[in-house]
Protein backbone atom coordinates (compact mmCIF):
# COMPACT_ATOMS: atom_id res chain seq x y z
CA UNK A 1 0.00 0.00 0.00
CA UNK A 2 1.30 3.45 -0.85
CA UNK A 3 2.23 5.85 1.98
CA UNK A 4 -0.33 8.40 0.74
CA UNK A 5 -3.11 5.81 0.98
CA UNK A 6 -2.09 4.87 4.54
CA UNK A 7 -2.08 8.53 5.55
CA UNK A 8 -5.49 9.02 3.90
CA UNK A 9 -7.00 5.99 5.66
CA UNK A 10 -5.49 7.11 8.99
CA UNK A 11 -6.87 10.63 8.53
CA UNK A 12 -10.30 9.25 7.63
CA UNK A 13 -10.33 6.99 10.71
CA UNK A 14 -9.16 9.88 12.91
CA UNK A 15 -11.88 12.21 11.60
CA UNK A 16 -14.50 9.49 12.02
CA UNK A 17 -13.40 8.87 15.61
CA UNK A 18 -13.42 12.59 16.35
CA UNK A 19 -16.91 12.85 14.85
CA UNK A 20 -18.21 10.03 17.05
CA UNK A 21 -16.62 11.60 20.15
CA UNK A 22 -18.08 15.03 19.37
CA UNK A 23 -21.51 13.49 18.75
CA UNK A 24 -21.39 11.58 22.06
CA UNK A 25 -20.36 14.75 23.93
CA UNK A 26 -23.11 16.75 22.22
CA UNK A 27 -25.63 14.03 23.17
CA UNK A 28 -24.44 14.20 26.80
CA UNK A 29 -24.56 18.00 26.68
CA UNK A 30 -28.16 17.94 25.50
CA UNK A 31 -28.97 15.33 28.20
CA UNK A 32 -28.60 18.04 30.84
CA UNK A 33 -30.65 18.06 34.00
CA UNK A 34 -31.95 21.01 35.96
CA UNK A 35 -33.91 21.66 39.09
CA UNK A 36 -35.11 24.72 40.93
CA UNK A 37 -32.65 25.33 43.73
CA UNK A 38 -34.55 28.13 45.40
CA UNK A 39 -35.69 31.70 45.19
CA UNK A 40 -35.37 35.01 46.98
CA UNK A 41 -38.25 37.46 47.10
CA UNK A 42 -36.64 40.87 46.64
CA UNK A 43 -39.86 42.84 46.77
CA UNK A 44 -43.58 42.42 46.26
CA UNK A 45 -45.69 45.51 46.03
CA UNK A 46 -48.93 46.66 44.52
CA UNK A 47 -47.35 47.50 41.17
CA UNK A 48 -44.20 45.36 40.92
CA UNK A 49 -42.83 42.00 42.01
CA UNK A 50 -39.11 41.18 41.98
CA UNK A 51 -37.90 37.61 42.53
CA UNK A 52 -34.51 35.95 42.06
CA UNK A 53 -34.94 32.34 40.93
CA UNK A 54 -32.00 29.93 41.10
CA UNK A 55 -31.79 26.90 38.82
CA UNK A 56 -29.14 24.18 39.14
CA UNK A 57 -27.99 23.16 35.64
CA UNK A 58 -26.05 19.87 35.46
CA UNK A 59 -23.69 19.39 32.52
CA UNK A 60 -23.16 15.66 31.97
CA UNK A 61 -20.60 16.14 29.20
CA UNK A 62 -16.84 16.64 29.46
CA UNK A 63 -17.16 19.91 27.55
CA UNK A 64 -16.76 23.33 29.12
CA UNK A 65 -18.98 25.97 27.54
CA UNK A 66 -20.31 29.46 28.09
CA UNK A 67 -23.91 30.61 28.33
CA UNK A 68 -23.57 33.99 26.63
CA UNK A 69 -27.12 35.07 27.38
CA UNK A 70 -30.56 33.72 28.11
CA UNK A 71 -34.08 34.83 27.38
CA UNK A 72 -37.00 33.52 29.42
CA UNK A 73 -40.71 33.98 28.84
CA UNK A 74 -42.77 33.54 32.00
CA UNK A 75 -46.43 32.47 31.97
CA UNK A 76 -48.97 32.15 34.79
CA UNK A 77 -51.96 29.88 34.16
CA UNK A 78 -51.11 29.94 30.46
CA UNK A 79 -51.07 33.75 30.17
CA UNK A 80 -47.89 35.65 29.34
CA UNK A 81 -46.54 37.58 32.33
CA UNK A 82 -43.04 38.86 31.50
CA UNK A 83 -39.79 38.29 29.62
CA UNK A 84 -36.47 37.95 31.42
CA UNK A 85 -33.24 38.76 29.60
CA UNK A 86 -29.78 38.12 31.00
CA UNK A 87 -26.66 39.09 29.08
CA UNK A 88 -24.09 38.18 31.73
CA UNK A 89 -21.94 35.23 30.57
CA UNK A 90 -21.95 32.12 32.77
CA UNK A 91 -19.24 29.45 32.43
CA UNK A 92 -20.49 25.86 32.71
CA UNK A 93 -17.77 23.46 33.80
CA UNK A 94 -17.63 19.87 32.53
CA UNK A 95 -19.33 17.11 34.53
CA UNK A 96 -20.62 19.54 37.13
CA UNK A 97 -23.61 21.49 38.37
CA UNK A 98 -23.76 25.27 38.02
CA UNK A 99 -26.36 27.54 39.56
CA UNK A 100 -27.97 29.95 37.10
CA UNK A 101 -29.71 32.98 38.54
CA UNK A 102 -32.74 34.57 36.90
CA UNK A 103 -34.10 37.90 38.08
CA UNK A 104 -37.85 38.00 37.44
CA UNK A 105 -39.45 41.43 37.56
CA UNK A 106 -43.16 41.49 36.80
CA UNK A 107 -46.21 43.68 37.03
CA UNK A 108 -48.24 42.45 40.00
CA UNK A 109 -51.37 43.93 38.42
CA UNK A 110 -50.92 41.54 35.48
CA UNK A 111 -50.39 38.63 37.88
CA UNK A 112 -53.51 39.55 39.82
CA UNK A 113 -55.58 39.56 36.61
CA UNK A 114 -54.49 35.96 36.03
CA UNK A 115 -55.06 34.50 39.50
CA UNK A 116 -57.21 36.69 41.66
CA UNK A 117 -58.11 40.01 43.13
CA UNK A 118 -55.26 40.50 45.59
CA UNK A 119 -51.93 39.10 46.78
CA UNK A 120 -53.69 36.95 49.37
CA UNK A 121 -55.56 35.20 46.51
CA UNK A 122 -52.24 34.37 44.87
CA UNK A 123 -50.87 32.90 48.10
CA UNK A 124 -54.09 30.99 48.89
CA UNK A 125 -54.35 29.58 45.36
CA UNK A 126 -50.61 28.88 44.98
CA UNK A 127 -50.98 25.09 44.33
CA UNK A 128 -53.38 25.91 41.48
CA UNK A 129 -51.31 28.74 40.00
CA UNK A 130 -49.40 27.17 37.11
CA UNK A 131 -46.06 28.72 36.26
CA UNK A 132 -44.30 27.98 33.00
CA UNK A 133 -40.93 29.34 31.97
CA UNK A 134 -39.60 28.91 28.43
CA UNK A 135 -35.86 29.43 28.85
CA UNK A 136 -33.56 29.70 25.84
CA UNK A 137 -29.84 29.56 26.66
CA UNK A 138 -27.56 31.04 23.99
CA UNK A 139 -24.39 28.98 24.28
CA UNK A 140 -20.91 29.07 22.73
CA UNK A 141 -18.74 25.96 22.55
CA UNK A 142 -15.34 26.26 20.85
CA UNK A 143 -16.58 29.40 19.13
CA UNK A 144 -19.68 27.65 17.75
CA UNK A 145 -22.97 29.20 18.89
CA UNK A 146 -26.06 27.06 19.57
CA UNK A 147 -29.15 27.13 21.76
CA UNK A 148 -30.29 24.96 24.67
CA UNK A 149 -34.02 25.10 25.47
CA UNK A 150 -35.32 24.45 28.99
CA UNK A 151 -39.01 24.35 29.85
CA UNK A 152 -39.96 24.70 33.50
CA UNK A 153 -43.54 23.61 34.27
CA UNK A 154 -44.41 23.95 37.94
CA UNK A 155 -46.84 25.72 40.24
CA UNK A 156 -46.36 28.65 42.57
CA UNK A 157 -46.65 26.47 45.68
CA UNK A 158 -43.82 24.13 44.60
CA UNK A 159 -41.61 27.06 43.65
CA UNK A 160 -41.97 28.60 47.06
CA UNK A 161 -41.73 25.52 49.26
Per-residue pLDDT tens digits for 15-24 = 787 777 777 7
Using CB atoms within 10 Å of the CB of residue 99, give its burial: 0 to 12 exposed, 13 to 18 middle, 19+ buried.
Answer: exposed
Specify whether domain 32-160 bears CATH 3.30.450.20.
no
Among the listed residues 91, 45, 84, the one whose alpha carbon sits nearest the alpha carbon of residue 64: 91
Structural domain boundaries in the chain: 1-31, 32-160
Per-residue pLDDT tens digits for 107-148 = 887 777 776 665 666 666 667 778 898 989 898 888 888 888
pTM exceeds 0.85 for this model? no
Amino acid sequence: MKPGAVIGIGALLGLTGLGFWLYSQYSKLMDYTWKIRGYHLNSLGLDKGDINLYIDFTNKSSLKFTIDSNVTDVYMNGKFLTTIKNYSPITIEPNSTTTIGLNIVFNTGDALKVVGNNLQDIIAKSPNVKVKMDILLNVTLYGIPFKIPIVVDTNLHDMTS
